[in-house]
Structure 1
Amino acid sequence: MADEYTPTLASLSVTHVYYDPDDYISLLCAYLALLPQALCVVYATLIFSTREAEICLAFAGQLACEALNFVLKRIIKEERPRLIHGKGYGMPSSHAQFVAFWSLSLALFLLVRHKPLSSRGKAKIWEGGRPWTLVERLAVSLAGVAVAAATAWSRIYLNYHTTTQVAAGVSAGFVFALVWFVATEILRRTGWLAWGIELPPARMLRIRDLVVEEDMCQAGWEKWEEKKTAKAK
């Protein structure tokens, strides 16, 4: 009986994500494994550049979701699939839980919480621009879900997790995203968020809460247009 073929695995530089160098899908999956790290960089960049309370809350929820995954893995203590190089427990998949939380949180924000004033006729629409339509926000939300699904599936393809472990991670991420959305909505409706933004540390950091009603592409654009017009005159 011939020995079962075992591919020689390579490690993606810096990240140590193991993949089959002869398989382009395996390479793509290795890059998808970097999505959580990339999203953390995006979170940090947006927080630093915009000082938006909504993004701060989203990142806090993302970190809390990771903490939940850490606890669940040590409670369940289920090993990863055999012949895998990953360390630690595998149930639930942290990658799947991370991207599930991110994608559903993004969709809930764009489709439920985000209500730009200009789309409701309460602010002028600047020349050559307009707020995102519901169809556009739905398209972005679906794109986020598609990327999250590909990332979750990649963990199975690379043999870092079983299908059950990935499904558990996705479920945990979705449930926690819903819980976090409700919790932050309560903070908004009860005035606790508005109170927190007025505290000295928040004012010192110039935390603001405009993105819920401000169009995604508008921030600073009108000021820039006014400045150019004034300069031209």
Structure 2
Amino acid sequence: MDDAPLASFSLTHVHYDPADRISYLCAWLALVPQGLCVVYATLIWSNREIEIGLMFAGQMACEALNWCLKRYIKEERPREMHGKGYGMPSSHAQFVSFFSVTLAFFLLFRHVPHPTETHTPLTFIQRFALSVIALASAAAVACSRIYLNYHTPRQVLVGCAAGVIFAVVWFGFTTYLRRAGWVEWALKTYLARMFRVRDLVVQEDLVDSGWARWEERRRRNAAFRVQSKKNK
């Protein structure tokens, strides 16, 4: 018997022109959504921040919306990529648009970090610059879908619009959850306490998380070693 034909796992299967350096770069840009999912999972597991969990929940809801829109509109991809699923709207463009706009909203309107003895947080201007970089990166990913012929310009523009609109709606929804006390209530539930879910990133930089405790432990250890030498 002949061996059964093998299937291609298309999660990271990207078509590009190997003779074109821009095409090669665009192929890497196509992997940004998968990379962001890894970042989400890593941050949620390591920091247990409810804000990151809410953002990831919105990201997945945005993906579900894209899945529904594609199967409702049923518009084919450009001729070069026919047979590889529907193209309207672009899921890559919608994914990165939601991520970048939500990140910008968080940095500019919700994140109010306080300085500590060991850390000076990013200023508003620095957070604004970071937001611009995030938006520019999202634009690069969206444009790469056109360059690789996976989507038409219209499909990418609609994907960007859907991602931006959903980001605005989701940010407003999570703002309501905070102001109405639902986030505070959720943090008091048994599951949240069992998984040690916290809400520190709104007022504390992630890079400063635990740093003060680490510095205090180092000072105590150093003082203990000095005292031990004196006792000898």
- Determine if the TM-score, normalized by the shorter chain, exceeds 0.5: yes
Larger radius of gyration: 2
- May I ask how many residue pairs the two structures share in their alignment? 215
Q: Distance in 2 between matches of 1:91 and 1:173?
A: 13
Q: Distance in 2 between matches of 1:62 and 1:50?
A: 18
- Contact in 1 for aligned 2:76/2:82 (Cα 8 Å): no
CA shift, 1:16, in A, is 1.5
Mapped pair 1:126 → 2:89? no
Query: TM-score if structure 1 supplies the norm length?
Result: 0.89
Which whole-Å deviations, capped at 9, do the CAs of 1:69-116 have from their partners, x for residues lacking one?
000011111110002266111000000000000000000000000001
Which whole-Å deviations, capped at 9, do the CAs of 1:106-134 have from their partners, x for residues lacking one?
0000000000133xxxxxx224x301111
The SS at the match of 1:56 is helix
- Contact in 1 for aligned 2:95/2:163 (Cα 8 Å): yes
Partner of 1:153: 143
Sequence identity (%):
61
Which one has a larger percent helix, Structure 1 or Structure 2?
2
Q: Distance in 2 between matches of 1:226 and 1:207?
A: 24
Q: Distance in 1 between matches of 2:23 and 2:73?
A: 28
CA 1:26–1:86 in structure 2 vs 1: closer, same or farther (change >3 Å)?
Answer: farther
Runs of 4+ in 1 over 2 A off after TM superposition: none
CA shift, 1:216, in A, is 3.3
Partner of 2:177: 187
1:35-184 pair list within 5 angstroms = 35-84=32-81, 87-118=84-115, 125-127=116-118, 129-184=119-174
State the one-letter code of the partner of 1:33: A
Over aligned residue pairs, what C-alpha RMSD do you find?
1.5
Mapped pair 1:197 → 2:187? yes
Please list every run of 5 or more consecutive structure 2 residues that lacks an aligned counterpart in the other structure.
1-7, 224-232
CA shift, 1:15, in A, is 2.0
Query: TM-score if structure 2 supplies the norm length?
Result: 0.90
